[in-house]
Structure 1
Amino acid sequence: MGKINYQSLIYAYSRIINFYNTNGRLPNYVTIKNVGIARDPNSIKEVRVLIYSGYDASTNCVNGIKYCLDAVKLNSVKFTYATSTVINSNVLASYDVLVMPGGTSGLSYLRNPNISASAIKSFVSNGGGYLGICAGAYAASIAVDGYYGGWGLADVRCKAVEYEGNLNISITSAGASILGLSGTQTICHCNGAAMYAVGAATSLATYADSKTGYEGYIAAVADTYGSGRVILCGPHPELTPRIPQMVVKMIAWLAKVT
C-alpha cells in the first residue's frame, strides 16, 4: 500500500498502547495516520535552478538572476544554479526550477528548436517550478492578445507593452506573503507583459502607474500547473534597480521550500 514514515509508525504504536491501557485489550484494527513533521531548522534544503541562456536570452538578465541568487540568503535553503542553451527533458531532470529570463521575445522562445515546449510542460506538471520574466512570461501565458498563443502554463493573457525604463508596481496581499515585500516598488521594465487573469491565477503585483498604458493590470502573477508552480513577471527585478529578494523569494516559492 505504501511506505510508513518513522513518526507515523511511532504514533500508531502509541495509540495501540493507549487503547490497551483504556480497554484492557488490543484493538481489532489500526488506521495509520500521516503525521506532519516540523522542518529541522538546522537542515539545509538545496534548490537546483536552471537558467536558460540561449542566443535569444539576454545576457544581462541571465547574469542578473545569478547575482540575486548569490546575494540573498534564506534560512535553511541553499541555491545552486547552472545555465543551458538547450531545454529538454534530459536537461530539466536535474533541476527543481526553470527560469526563462528576458530576451528577444516570447515568440522567439516559442519558435526556438532548442526549447522543448512539451518538456517544459511535463516538467512543471510533474512538480517543477517555472519562473518567466518578460519574454519568459509572454511565452508561458495563454496568449499575447492580437499576436500569438503561448504555452499556457498560467491562466493569464498578455497585452504587448512598449515601454523601457523604471516604473512602479503595487504589491498585493498575496504578493506580500510570497515575495516578502509590500507597498510600492520601483522596478526596471523592458517591454514586459501587462497581464490579466482568465482563471484562478493570483496577482502578486500590479502596475501602479500609466507608463505601460495598462495601469492596474497584473505585473507579476502566481499559478499552478499540474503539480507544479508558475510565476510570470513582466518587469525585471533582476536588473537595476535590482530587487534581489523578489527574485529569490519567487524561486523559493516555486521550489516549495517557503
Structure 2
Amino acid sequence: MEKIIKIDNLTFSYMRESDQRLVEAVKGLDLEIEKGSFLAVIGKNGSGKSTLAKNINALLLPTGGAVYVKGWDTKADDHLWDVRQTVGMIFQNPDNQLVSSIVEDDVAFGPENLGVPPEEIRQRVDEALKAVNMYQHRKKAPHLLSGGQKQRIAIAGVVAMRPDCIIFDEPTAMLDPKGRREVMDIIRKLHQEGITVLLITHFMEEAANADRVLIMDKGQRILDGTPVEIFSEIETIRELGLDVPTAVDMADRLRKRGIPVPSHIIRSEEMVEYLCQYK
C-alpha cells in the first residue's frame, strides 16, 4: 500500500532548561505509516509520543534523520504548507485550538488561511460540522459548549482543511466518559471515510480499536504490530509501567483459572459476547 509517512532514523534532542542537559526525546526511530491506516501510539509520559507527532506535523524538525510526508521532507521550507495541509493535528486541550467567538467562524479559520474561496469555505464548514454532529451549534459561542463538544469543534476545524492524515494527541484525556465515547466515534468514522489516523493515547481501550499499535519507551520503538499481537505481550507491557485493556486483563485472569478465552479477545464487547456463549 501507499506510504503517506516515512520516518528514517529520526532523532530529536533538546536542551532541558532546568539543568541544561541534552535530552534525546526520540532516538533513531524508523517508521512507515500507510495511507488510510489507523495507528495508535502508546507509552508513558516522556516516552517520545508527542515529540514524534510534532515531528510528523513539522511543528518540530528532526535534529537527526528525516521525516517525509507524501514524499516531502519536513525540513524543506518550500513544502511546509504542503506538509501542514496533508497532516492536521488535534491537541489534548481544545481551548488551545479555538480562536473565534462563534463556532462556524472557528471552523472556517483554517480554510481561510489556506486561501480557499469563500463559497467553498461555506460548504466545507457545513460538511465538517455535520461530520462531527455539531451543525446545530454552529451559531453558538465555543465557551458555552462542553469539553467534548469543544473537542468536536476542534476536530471540525481540522477536517475543514481536508487533510489526508489527522494526528490526535491525547484528544480524550480531559474529557469525561461520555465525551471520550463521542470523540472516539468521530475518529472511527473519519478513518472509515479514508482519513489516515494517528492516535496518541493513554487509554488502552482506545488503542485496541486501531489497525496497528506502536509502544514507545525512552524515545524508542519497543513493540509494533496489530492490537491482538501487541496485547498478547501482557508481561512486557506491564514491565513498561503500562496497563492493558480491561478485556485483556480479564482474559488473562480467566485463562489462569482454566477458562480457554481465545487470544483474539481484546475488547470489552468481545469479552461480553464470549462470556454469554461460554458453557
TM-score of the alignment, normalized to the shorter chain, above 0.5 = no
Comparing both chains, which one has the higher relative contact order based on Cα–Cα distances under 8 Å and sequence gaps of 6 or more? 2
TM-score, normalization: structure 1?
Answer: 0.28
Higher helix share: 2
